[in-house]
Structure 1
């Protein structure tokens, strides 16, 4: 029997995408800071991506070979960002093939707990083999989990006449309407590979020991209580996890290597007035076509506000005009606009006092990073639970406005004209309503910091560690 005084060891198994890896790495950092032996279990390519962000921590990494050939993928395609779009389904289904190597690592190293991303449908069973608890890491919030549970239970869309018809989502603390166009569209017959994988993940999660959620009680108290007391789920809120990264160097290296130097963007921001700059970034997955990027550019130019615009494009060659930019755009906005082509140090940018608003895809990481910085948002949902999160931002928290997207349209995003974008930007930046949103945002930012420093999330983390320590004594 293991010694009761042995250091508690927890394994962290992130999904294969930056939106899931980054908060899982933050989670491992958080546990390591509290004396837990925290080990991230991942593939060699993904280990390289995260190694720099944890080099000044006590977090460990264990790697296993990714089954590229078995999954029908070229070598090196081990996450969403390095995999061609037409092979993404192969990557997702490859998660089923990770069971054997992860099982071997658990057998060899004897952790006390496995924190595995929601999508690993085999994780609960593997953990049970070694009598350790499997904890589900859901890269979302309590509100989304409650909405999803209501939709599964009540099936509010079964009698609608149109996919664009709003339906009441029942049994929630707030009145909430959504359309089918705003939700992921797995095949109705449930026979697609993705539908089967999704169903298996739900079943596995329902049998797990509990959930760790990247949120804090003060942000969504009614939904924390609903999830635990009405739905009967065991869950710990330990966020915002982005606050686990404290000093500037760590923030810059969080995620990928930044495409811009720290001094360059900070010097640029320092030259701008407080709350005057619009920050535009749509995460690691979204890929707008050239026409939509031009509409965004026209809106930013017409708004008259300074802006930082993050675009996933290679730097242009000298004297080359990029087709996605309106003609003469960079010349006309010189000094007022900063374009970052590639990965941006988002947390560091958002925390600067010059940032006045953040236009994003309503991904939970971006939304929570904006909340901790006290920055209101323009929301542009694209995939997965983005529309649900938009509802939280715009209708529950009232710290954002919608750009006007009506339906999920994959990683391309629903087409929006420059006039609608400009209208949303003006609404979030100026006027009485904008000021009220900014005040609410600043209040939530203060509450988020208290939660992790001494409040609700700090207490929850203590409670979780104590419970896992007691579990291993059984």
Structure 2
């Protein structure tokens, strides 16, 4: 970067949920590593999470420190308990509406900061639809961070616009996404509720406003790389006419174990314990099972997963959210004697795990995932075949990309889009899917395709790679704005 960009200053404003904060922290590190003055705006209780994840930015050669600006979170004003500043800390899902209300009250304090600091650009989460207006008041370009793939953004736009699911006679009838590359099929049951039911509520209103804000924003930054979904990146930009830059996989800015361990919450297990456990395993022999920071399963579904993993015969690391819903102490969600039988074969992590650290380990050979985009891309960057188990959000679209386009994964058979609690899948399906990605000719073919994509991902972020070039083109364009 030339000296003329010294004054260039980029602001990041992530939504208060791990799936949004983690990639934005990575993105902030990425800009800082290019010598760009970078600030993340967040609230008091979220600041330590961001600060921990970005602290290594200043150790990059030519990198600068990521600064943090704090604005107060209006929990009490929005009818939330004091100190509730993160989706994770909501006492129950009913409070989600209050949480969204609280985030909309952040517009004024954000505008106050923009007036004071006058940054060159604001990258704000898609859920802050009002950020486009806030930035426009000070003639600051607002970029949107969606946290999705090009494929999912484009597919979801088409399905919302043309409503092809209306031509099906039942929930399980397949339809093809019209005017969309790749002959992608899905069913009505897999389409998000707010798309097919035309319900008016806080969530649907927010999605609508976010769509409108997209049209007037400066463009979109995408955590993806061109080689992964070039057809859909071109389609999104040229056919749907959206201005977008791909700068991912942003997780690859974490080079060493320490950086990988510092993303997100504090791990619920000592890093050395599970690394030692993994060291004792053969290459590609362990399945990693994790469903992200939002999806939940009831006790009977957890039991099916446990029985399926046991029957598959493969070693595994399984991350289970430490929820008040499952009595973690009594472990009633586990089959009788499960942990004794799995001694040395299976490791259950209750709570939070440093995912990238585990995925990158040579002993790990497959990934059972809910298909959140962060997880999907982290799995791809680690070169792993996947069992896809989508639950909500845009996860069914990501599943189609993994299974129908990239052909590096197999579906477990989840059929229904649900807001939080996952679809019921039987142990036989879990066992069969795990075996399909771990052993046999099909598994080898998926693994070699996934490995090739992982190589391309690493090249994309190196100097001269597609994501590195897009990042620099974006910095150039914004600094001359």
Q: TM range, normalised to the smaller chain? A: over 0.9
Could you tell me which of 451, 462, 466 is aligned with 2:472?
Answer: 462
Counterpart Cα distance in 1 of 2:322 and 2:479: 47
Counterparts of 1:263 and 1:152, CA distance in 2? 47
Q: Contact between 2:6 and 2:37, CA under 8 Å: does it hold in 1?
A: no
Offset, 1:157: 2.3
Shift of 1:430: 0.9
C-alpha distance in structure 1 between counterparts of 2:369 and 2:106, whole Å: 32
Of the candidates 139, 153, 157, which is equivalent to residue 131 of structure 1? Answer: 139
Say whether the 8 Å CA contact 1:72–1:90 is kept in structure 2.
yes
CA distance in 2, matches of 1:235, 1:452: 17
Question: What's the offset of the Cα at 1:7?
Answer: 2.5
Counterpart in the other structure of 1:62: 69
Task: Report how far residue 164 of structure 1 moved.
Answer: 2.8
Quote the residue 2:50 is aligned against: 50
Tell me, yes or no, if the aligned pair for 2:26 and 2:53 is still in contact at 8 Å: no
Correspondent of 2:360 among 326, 346, 351: 351
Partner of 1:420: 429
Is 1:83–2:93 an aligned residue pair?
Answer: no
> Which moved further from structure 2: 335-344 or 41-50?
41-50
2:455 is the alignment partner of 1:446: yes
1:190 to partner: Cα distance: 4.5
1:50-449 correspondence runs (5 A): 50-57=50-57, 58-84=65-91, 85-186=93-194, 188-313=197-322, 321-449=330-458
1:126-180: per-residue Cα shift (whole Å, max 9, x none)? 1111111100111011101110121133221234332332222111111012222
Farther-moved stretch of structure 1 (54-63 vs 362-371): 54-63
Query: Per-residue CA shift, 1:390-425, capped at 9, x if unaligned?
Result: 000011000000100111122210011111111111
Secondary structure of 2:258 counterpart: helix
CA apart distance, 1:236:
0.5
Which SS does the other structure have where 1:67 is aligned?
coil
Residue 20 (str. 1) matches residue 20 (str. 2): yes
Instruction: Please name the residue that 2:36 is paired with.
Output: 36
Distance 2:78 2:330 in 1: 39
- Between 1:401-410 and 1:145-154, the stretch displaced more is 145-154
Displacement after TM superposition at 1:196 (Å): 1.1
Q: Which moved more, 1:168-177 or 1:397-406?
A: 168-177
1:285-326 Cα deviation digits (max 9, x unpaired): 1121111111111111111111001111279xxx96410111
1:320-343 CA distances to partner (integer Å, 9 max, x unpaired)?
Answer: 641011110110010011111111
| Cα distance in structure 2, aligned partners of 1:304 and 1:271 | 17
Contact 1:274 1:354 survives alignment (8 Å): yes
SS in 2 for 1:393: helix
| Root mean square deviation, CA, Å | 1.6
Q: Is the 8 A contact 1:279 1:358 kept in 2?
A: yes
C-alpha change, 1:166 and 1:6, in structure 2 (3 Å) is same
Q: Distance in 2 between matches of 1:363 and 1:199?
A: 21
The alignment partner of 2:124 has SS state of strand
What is the alpha-carbon distance in structure 2 between the residues aligned to residue 442 and residue 452 of structure 1?
16
- Structure 2, unpaired ranges of 5+: 58-64
User: Distance in 1 between the 2:4 and 2:384 partners?
Assistant: 45
Contact 1:50 1:256 in 2 (8 A): no
Name the count of aligned residue pairs.
466
- In 2: Cα distance, 1:123 partner to 1:350 partner: 35
Provide, for residues 200-243 of structure 1, a one-character-per-residue CA deviation record: whole Å limited to 9, x for no partner: 11000111111100000000010111111111111100000000
TM-score (norm 2): 0.94
Name the CA distance, whole Å, in 2 between partners of 1:34 and 1:189: 44
For the residues of structure 1 that align with 2:47 and 2:242, how far apart are their CA atoms?
32
Farther-moved stretch of structure 1 (174-183 vs 7-16): 174-183
SS in 2 for 1:56: helix
How does the TM-score come out when normalised to structure 1? 0.96
